[in-house]
């Protein structure tokens, strides 16, 4: 069923009173597990970035044989950002991708023939991070202060839109361009007063270092964008819907496994990608990243319908937010039904008791937001 905006917003705010984060690590060999089934279809899939606690579930599904059980011989590769991942799928380098919604929408606005088959979690966690003892407690408090920002980051283009929605006079904010490798450290060293960030990436790095912080979600101020989505090309969707169904079922089932068994899943992730456990804070960071991802899955879309469900009534507003960036000249967006579909969603659901467990497992992570 379709959820109205009041119900959705109320449920989201309630969920965020409950919260977690990640470590970005290089991905080596994904698995040495032999195929369990014969006659499988070879499929390539790209992640949006390096494997971390917010996106590793396709690797887990490969290791556990979930894809093989669905007749899929999956090859999972790291990504180099959602925009690049979307382009790679559109250019036939991969059959499917896990891509953040903003990257997909930018690609679609540029004429790339992609379609979204499912949404895995529902907030891109763009926001402002500041230290817990900082005087920055509201968006207006950014005025007259230094704000660190990686100019090529996913959230940077949306800063003007957030400033406008939150009532910030952006001309009074001293934006300091920072390299992505040191963005969190510039705040920890108090070279800047706050930073723009993606919560699933920056919160884990800061929290795993034992530093208290607060994080203002831009979605709380009306800048709402979905996060990870399963995408493919329209020709794949039209010519092989059975394959699309199998890939969606296997990917959503892999994600559901992490929702039901978060601790076991992270431990297996560390075995698949040993680099996760090589640093003192690596496993902690991965757990936090997974926790934040699971927190922003507690939306009516998934809980009232099925894992992977997209509220189509929200999509036009998200598309407009992307188009308002002005980075695409003369965009021509196809009709909504050519951009996103729920037709492959519905086979993977959690019971009410299982959703309650997801809430309980991730309640502690809400402390990072506010």
Helix axes 282-295, 352-362, angle to 10 degrees: 130
Min mean pLDDT across 21-30, 58-67, 172-181 is at 21-30
Torsion of CA 46, 48, 52, 56, to 10 degrees: -40
Q: Residue 40 has what pLDDT? A: 86
Whether residue 29 has pLDDT greater than 70:
no
221, 246, 273 — which closes off a domain?
A: 221
pLDDT for 275 equals 87
Mark which of 171, 205, 221 sits at the end of a domain: 221
Of 1-15, 29-43, 292-306, give the lowest mean pLDDT range. Answer: 1-15
- Does residue 94 share a domain with residue 241? yes
Average pLDDT (153-174) is: 92
Q: What is the dihedral of CA 141, 143, 148, 153, to 10 degrees?
A: 90
Q: How many domains does the chain have?
A: 2
Tell whether 256 and 286 lie within a shared domain.
yes
Do 118 and 131 fall within a single domain?
no
Q: Where is the domain boundary, 203, 221, 239?
A: 221
Please tell me whether residues 12 and 76 are part of one structural domain: yes
CA 258 to chain centre: 15
Residues 205, 289: Cα–Cα separation, whole Å: 9
- Residue 121, pLDDT score: 95
- The average pLDDT across 333-347 equals 95
Kind and range of the H or E element at 230? strand 228-233
- Asked whether residue 306 falls in the same domain as residue 209, the answer is no
Task: Please check whether residues 108 and 143 belong to one and the same domain.
Answer: no
Give the model's pLDDT for residue 331.
86
CATH number, domain of 212, equals 3.40.190.10
Q: What are phi and psi of 298, to 5 degrees?
A: -80, 55
204 & 310 share domain: no
**H-only helix segments in the chain:** 5-16, 57-64, 66-69, 82-90, 101-109, 159-165, 183-188, 199-207, 234-239, 241-260, 262-272, 282-295, 300, 315-323, 352-362
Does 230 lie in the same domain as 194?
no
Cα–Cα–Cα angle for 85, 342, 252, rounded to 5 degrees: 60
The pLDDT tens digits of the residues spanning 59-91 come to: 999 999 999 999 999 999 998 888 889 999 999
Whether residues 232 and 114 share a domain: the answer is yes
Same domain as 69, residue 12: yes
Same domain (yes/no): 164, 310: no
pLDDT of 58 > 80? The answer is yes
Share of the chain above pLDDT 70, in %: 89
**279, two tokens:** 């640093």
For residue 200, what are the CA distances in angstroms to 35, 111, 227, 296? 32, 29, 10, 10
The DSSP 8-state label assigned to residue 153 in this structure reads S
Question: Do 320 and 194 share a structural domain?
Answer: no
Span 124-137, average pLDDT: 94
Structural domain that includes position 190: 126-221
């Amino acid at each position: 069923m379709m959820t109205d905006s009041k119900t959705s917003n109320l449920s989201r705010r309630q969920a965020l009173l409950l919260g977690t984060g990640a470590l970005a690590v290089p991905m080596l060999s994904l698995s040495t597990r032999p195929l369990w089934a014969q006659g499988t279809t070879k499929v390539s899939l790209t992640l949006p970035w390096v494997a971390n606690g917010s996106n590793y579930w396709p690797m887990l599904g490969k290791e556990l044989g979930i894809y093989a059980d669905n007749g899929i011989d999956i090859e999972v590769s790291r990504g180099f950002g959602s925009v690049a991942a979307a382009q790679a799928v559109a250019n036939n380098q991969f059959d499917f991708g896990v891509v953040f919604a903003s990257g997909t929408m930018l690609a679609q606005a540029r004429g790339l023939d992609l379609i979204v088959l499912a949404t895995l979690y529902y907030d891109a966690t763009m926001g402002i991070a500041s230290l817990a003892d900082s005087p920055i407690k509201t968006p207006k408090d950014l005025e007259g202060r230094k704000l660190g920002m990686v100019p090529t980051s996913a959230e940077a283009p949306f800063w003007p839109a957030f400033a406008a929605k939150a009532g910030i006079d952006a001309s009074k904010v001293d934006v300091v361009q920072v390299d992505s490798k040191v963005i969190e450290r510039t705040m920890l060293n108090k070279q800047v007063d706050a930073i723009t960030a993606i919560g699933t990436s920056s919160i884990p790095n800061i929290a795993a270092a034992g530093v208290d912080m607060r994080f203002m979600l831009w979605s709380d101020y009306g800048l709402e964008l979905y996060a990870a989505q399963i995408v493919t090309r329209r020709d794949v969707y039209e010519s092989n819907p059975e394959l699309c169904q199998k890939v969606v079922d296997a990917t959503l089932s892999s994600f559901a496994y992490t929702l039901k068994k978060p601790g076991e899943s992270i431990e297996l992730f560390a075995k698949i990608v040993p680099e996760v456990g090589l640093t003192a804070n690596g496993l902690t960071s991965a757990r936090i990243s997974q926790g934040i991802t699971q927190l922003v899955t507690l939306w009516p879309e998934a809980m009232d319908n099925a894992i992977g469900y997209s509220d189509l009534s929200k999509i036009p507003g998200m598309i407009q937010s992307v188009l308002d960036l002005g980075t695409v000249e003369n965009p021509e967006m196809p009709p909504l039904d050519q951009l996103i579909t729920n037709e492959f969603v519905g086979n993977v659901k959690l019971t009410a008791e299982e959703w309650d467990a997801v809430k309980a497992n991730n309640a502690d992570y809400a402390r990072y937001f506010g």
